[in-house]
Every structure is written in structure tokens, then in C-alpha cells.
């Protein structure tokens, strides 16, 4: 039995009722918190994006960018790209202009150098005398040289040279005059010197000889300008020879000249006959200190240039060119008159 008026069963205990909460709102809140805390892994929903209100139309709400803003952004990107391309093109144009200017300047320098070589290269191509042993053509078939003219543009001639630039070896009043045009780098001139030239000079230097050798030292093989500036190997050698004859006389000159022919490389390298080599050869030939200073300073290069120009003006087309008593020989290697003049006296 329970309270008054209430019956209870004997086989069951009555279930007590929970006390009534006087704050029903607080209880519901607790239940809500408890129910949320019972599932900690339940994801919290992300907040919805704020709506975008179209400017000018407050009643229109949009969550996507407008077409106008997309077009403006694309246009800005295109303008930015065009600016970058314009700057790159300007930079490339400047580089090309600088390179073009440098190429023009280099080409102009090369053209000046090539134009200065035209006269020397043309003569060098023509400087191919007939090899030794070929029959000598008649004088009528050989183009004859004109008369040698006096040099111009030379302040002072070396002692031992005449007004035409020839170095005189032998008797100035001799009846037989042999004029020889040589270049110290010419391989045919080396053959001439070894076969006939040296003997001819020795014969002319004998006392009482009736022979005069007039040697014109040209410089055109390997040279880059008619004025011989800068002086090449041929010009340096010929200038040194003029220094020796001017300061030490003909005898020392003859020794020095033979040494130059013996030392010259037949391949005509432009680097031979440096100042040190020429000074050494001159000293061995007996040259004085004055000659050495003259060789080092290349004092006679203008004289050699004048002799070379005068020789070409006379009609010389190659070396060696030999003129016997006014007659230009076709083949000086086999001409019997020259051979007889070079023969030693018994």
C-alpha cells in the first residue's frame, strides 16, 4: 500500500517519479548541451557565404562575380602582358642596334686594312719569275722598264745610295751596269743571290773592275700598306740594310745583305726579321752602335717606301728584276752576259 487512497502491488516496488524542475527552460538548455556533447565527432557546419549585393541594385543578391568585373580583369592582364612585351622588344632593339654598330665599325676597319693591301697583294701575285733553267726569251718579247727616276718625299738619302734609291756597289764609272730589284723575303731572290748575285757583287768589288751593281731593296711581300706603316718583315730588313750602308759603308752592307738572304725563311713569314734578329745579324756583320740604333728605330722605312713606289712606277712587276746596261732581262738566271760578268777573273 502507498499513500492514502493508493494501492500497491506486493510483487513490485513503485517507480519513483523524478522531482519536477521548477526551471523548465534551464533544463532544456542543459539537455541540448548534453546532447551536443554526447557526439564530439559531429562536424560543425560551415557558415554560409555572405551574399554579394550588386551595386546600384540593392534588391539583387548574387554570390558570383559579375561579367563586367571578369572582363575588366582580363583586359588588365592583357594590358600588363602587352607592356612586358613592349619593354622586351625595346630592350632587344637596343641590343641589336649596339651589335650592328660594333659590326659596322669592325667591318670598316677590315675594309680599310684590305684596301691598303690591294697594291701589295696584286704585286705579290705577279711576282713569279720564270724558274731557273727555262730558256731566256728575246729582248723584244720582254717588256722593258723605263728610266729610273729620282726619289721624292725623302728628307735625306743614306750614304752609299744614289738619287734613285739604288745602293751602289763597285765602280761608279764602269761600262757595265747591272741593276737588280730584290725583296729580302722573295725566295727567287734568295736563289738569285746564291747562284749569281753574290758572285756578281764580289766581282764588282774587285779593284779596277769595270762593273757597277745597283741594288734596289724593295719591300712589298707581306706588307699591308704602300707607306709600310706598320713596317713588315721586308720593310724592316730593307731599312736595316740602309742603316748599315749609311753608317758603316758598302763592305759591311754587302756582308749584312748576304746574311739577310741566308737567314730569310723562303715561306715569307711576316714575323721574321724582328728588331732583335736584325740587330744580332748586323753586329755579326761588323755594324756599329749607330747602325744598331738606326735599325731599332726603323729610321729608313720612309726611304724604303719611296724606293718601292719608284720601282713599281718604273714598271717592275716582280723580283728579282735585272736590267743589264739598260736592257730588261727576261730570265736573269740563264742570261749568258750576266753569267760572264759574274765569273771570277783568273
Contacts of residue 139, Cβ cutoff 8 Å, sequence gap at least 6: 327, 328, 329, 330
Pull the grid cell for residue 70.
571578369
Q: What is the pLDDT of residue 103?
A: 79
pLDDT over 50 at 26, yes or no = no
Q: What percent of the chain is modeled with pLDDT above 90?
A: 56
**DSSP code at position 140:** G
145: in domain: yes
Rounded CA-CA distance 37/160 in Å is 128
Segment 333-344 shows an average pLDDT of 94
Considering only 134-148, 230-244, 271-285, which range has the smallest mean pLDDT? Answer: 134-148
Higher pLDDT, 195 or 115: 195
CATH code: domain of residue 317: 3.40.30.10
Count: domains in the chain: 2
pLDDT over 50 at 194, yes or no = yes
287: in domain: yes
Domain match, 181 and 308 both = yes
Note whether 178 and 197 are within 8 A (CB): no
Pull the grid cell for residue 114.
684590305
Domain end call among 82, 117, 152: 117
Query: pLDDT tens across 203-261, in order?
Result: 999 998 999 999 999 999 999 999 999 999 999 999 999 999 999 999 999 999 999 99
pLDDT over 70 at 121, yes or no = no
The 3-state DSSP class for residue 17 equals coil
Rounded CA-CA distance 51/185 in Å is 99
Segment 269-277 shows an average pLDDT of 93
Domain match, 263 and 167 both = yes
Q: What is the pLDDT of residue 114?
A: 55
pLDDT over 90 at 2, yes or no = no
47: in domain: no
Q: What is the pLDDT of residue 184?
A: 97
134: in domain: no
Domain match, 242 and 99 both = no
Domain match, 313 and 164 both = yes
For residue 264, give the H/E element and its range.
none
Domain match, 161 and 302 both = yes
Domain match, 163 and 296 both = yes
Domain end call among 49, 82, 117: 117
Range(s) of the domain holding residue 292: 139-342
Domain match, 336 and 235 both = yes
Domain match, 288 and 190 both = yes
Q: What is the pLDDT of residue 125?
A: 45
Rounded CA-CA distance 230/220 in Å is 12
Domain match, 80 and 162 both = no
43: in domain: no
pLDDT over 90 at 35, yes or no = no
List Cα–Cα distances, 204 to 54, 209, 260, in angstroms.
119, 6, 20
Domain match, 108 and 152 both = no
42: in domain: no
For residue 181, give the H/E element and its range.
strand 176-183
249: in domain: yes
Domain match, 181 and 307 both = yes
Domain match, 243 and 99 both = no
Q: What is the average pLDDT value for the chain, to the nearest integer?
A: 81
154: in domain: yes
Amino acid at each position: 500500500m502507498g499513500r492514502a487512497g493508493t494501492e500497491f502491488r506486493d510483487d513490485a516496488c513503485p517507480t519513483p517519479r523524478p522531482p519536477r524542475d521548477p526551471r523548465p527552460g534551464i533544463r532544456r538548455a542543459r539537455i541540448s548541451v548534453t546532447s551536443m556533447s554526447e557526439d564530439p565527432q559531429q562536424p560543425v557546419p560551415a557558415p554560409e557565404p555572405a551574399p554579394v549585393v550588386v551595386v546600384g541594385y540593392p534588391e539583387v543578391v548574387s554570390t558570383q562575380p559579375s561579367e563586367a568585373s571578369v572582363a575588366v580583369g582580363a583586359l588588365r592582364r592583357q594590358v600588363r602582358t602587352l607592356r612586358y612585351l613592349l619593354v622586351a622588344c625595346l630592350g632587344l632593339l637596343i641590343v641589336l642596334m649596339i651589335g650592328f654598330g660594333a659590326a659596322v665599325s669592325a667591318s670598316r676597319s677590315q675594309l680599310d686594312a684590305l684596301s691598303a693591301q690591294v697594291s701589295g697583294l696584286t704585286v705579290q701575285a705577279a711576282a713569279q719569275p720564270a724558274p731557273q733553267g727555262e730558256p731566256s726569251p728575246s729582248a723584244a718579247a720582254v717588256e722593258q722598264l723605263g728610266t729610273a727616276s729620282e726619289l721624292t718625299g725623302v728628307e735625306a738619302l743614306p750614304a752609299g745610295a744614289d738619287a734613285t734609291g739604288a745602293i751602289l756597289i763597285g765602280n761608279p764609272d764602269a761600262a757595265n751596269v747591272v741593276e737588280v730589284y730584290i725583296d729580302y723575303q722573295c725566295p727567287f731572290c734568295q736563289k738569285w743571290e746564291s747562284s749569281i748575285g753574290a758572285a756578281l757583287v764580289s766581282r764588282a768589288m774587285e779593284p779596277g773592275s769595270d762593273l757597277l751593281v745597283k741594288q734596289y731593296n724593295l719591300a712589298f711581300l707581306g706588307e699591308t700598306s704602300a707607306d709600310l706603316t706598320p713596317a713588315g718583315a721586308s720593310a724592316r730588313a730593307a731599312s736595316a740594310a740602309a742603316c748599315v750602308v749609311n753608317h758603316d759603308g758598302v763592305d759591311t752592307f754587302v756582308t749584312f745583305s748576304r746574311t739577310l738572304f741566308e737567314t730569310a725563311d723562303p715561306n715569307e713569314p711576316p714575323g721574321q726579321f724582328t728588331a732583335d734578329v736584325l740587330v744580332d745579324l748586323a753586329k755579326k756583320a761588323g755594324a756599329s752602335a749607330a747602325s744598331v740604333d738606326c735599325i731599332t728605330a726603323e729610321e729608313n722605312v720612309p726611304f724604303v717606301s719611296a724606293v718601292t713606289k719608284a720601282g713599281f712606277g718604273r714598271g717592275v712587276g716582280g723580283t728579282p728584276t735585272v736590267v743589264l746596261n739598260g736592257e730588261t732581262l727576261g730570265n736573269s738566271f740563264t742570261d749568258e752576259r750576266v753569267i760572264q760578268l759574274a765569273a771570277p777573273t783568273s
